[in-house]
Structure formats: structure tokens, C-alpha cells
Amino acid sequence: MILRRLLAVAACAAIGVASAAPPESVKADYNLFRDGLHIANVQETYAKTGTKYQIVSDTNAVGLALLFFKRAKVKVQSDGTVTRDGLQPERFEYGLINDPDNNVSATFDWHAHELHMKFDGSDKALPLAPGTQDRISVMYQFMFLPQDKLKLLEFAFTNGKKIEPYRYELAGNERLDTPLGKLNTLHLVKQRERDENGVEIWLAVDRHLVPVKVLILENDGTKFEQVITRLDIK
């Protein structure tokens, strides 16, 4: 308990270093690993133009993964508005380049408070709660959050097929060894039920809280890790 409190205090001090105006653009490259095997490269861009933003994430399989994984090329895109509370998605798309029949899209109707989703040849609408983030916007929402919200984050999340409540807790600050060198990070852990996947995120303190490592642990024990290899912030 004492150690946890000390980590929380140190993390709060680190958060102060990260406090700055959010960037206009972010370009980031990552290596994606499955159970330690490098299976893909990920290229992401965040761009703000006026009050609008666009995030594009392209995943391309590499090496033996090209032979064994159907999802050789995946594109995820989020478009929306930058508000005083951060990112407000308006359109989300998830696309398999070589299998468009499995594409997913979602439209956020903030006036009617409805999320309209299209997937598997069907249309579905669900109530839209304030602050809902999509699969990729959530990773860049951290840049806009005030310091106190990094201790405990609660929000609605959609992957374009459903909406789930997400809850992250600050586990502390860590000195993380990456291809960019050693980085001071804030380590967030998703609180989950027994049947949910585990998610952990490491945010670079002195680089606008951009994620530099993401860990996903699936229920069957499969582990996915996404690690930063290049980062350009303006």
C-alpha cells in the first residue's frame, strides 16, 4: 500500500512535466508483436486542422505473419472535432484492405445522442453517452486530459460494433526502455471483468502523453504488444 502511494505521488509529479498545449500533429511508428513474434508494422498520424482532427492508423503484416494472418493490411480512421474536453469523434472506420466485407463504420450523432453502426451487413443504433471514444481516438485523447483525470479514467468506448464502459487506473510512473531510448512514462491499467481482455498503456510524460507502448492480453492468453519506434510531434 505504501509503495502504491509513493508511485502515485511520483506519477502526479511527472504529470506536471507533461502539461502543455496539445500538438497540432503526431506521426508515430510502432512494431506490433504477438507472443513475442514481430507480426506487423503500424503507422499512425494525428492531424488537427482548425477545430477538426483526423487520425489514421495503418497496420501492415510483416515476415511470416503475411502467410498466417488474414488481416495483412488494416486501416483504422477517426474524424471529428477538437473541443475543450478533447476529441469528439464524428466518424469511425475500421477496414480490412483485403477483405472489405468485414469493414466496420460508426457515425456519432451528438445532437440526437445516438451512435449508428454498420457491420456484417447490418445497421445498429445505440444511445451515445457524452465523452464516448472510438478505438483509435482514445489513444490520442490522453493529450487533452487534465492532470487529475489521469489518476482514474472512466468513459464509454466503441469498436464500431458495441459500446462498453472503460475504466483505467494509474499504476504509477515507469522508466521504459524503448527503441527511442529510455522514456519516462505513466502506466495505466484497464480494470476488467473476468471475461474481458486486459489492456495496459504507457504514456510518454515529456511527449504530450502519446502512447509509446500498449499491451493487450486476451482471454486465451495471447499477448499483443505495440512498441514505439519513431515519434514526430509538432
Domain covering 2-233: architecture:
Clam (2.50)
pTM: 0.88
pLDDT band at residue 98 under the 50/70/90 scheme: low
Burial class (CB in 10 A: 0-12, 13-18, 19+), 96: middle
Residues 198-217: pLDDT tens digits? 999 999 999 999 999 999 99
Kindly state the average pLDDT of the residues 160-182: 95
Distance CA 87, CA 83 (A): 6
Buried b (16+ CB within 10 A) or exposed e, 62-73: eeebeeeeeebe
Residue in the block written with cell 492532470 = 147
For the chain, the domains span 2-233
Closest CA to 106 of 115, 96, 98: 115
pLDDT band at residue 56 under the 50/70/90 scheme: very high
- Classify the C-alpha dihedral 13-47-56-145 as positive or negative: positive
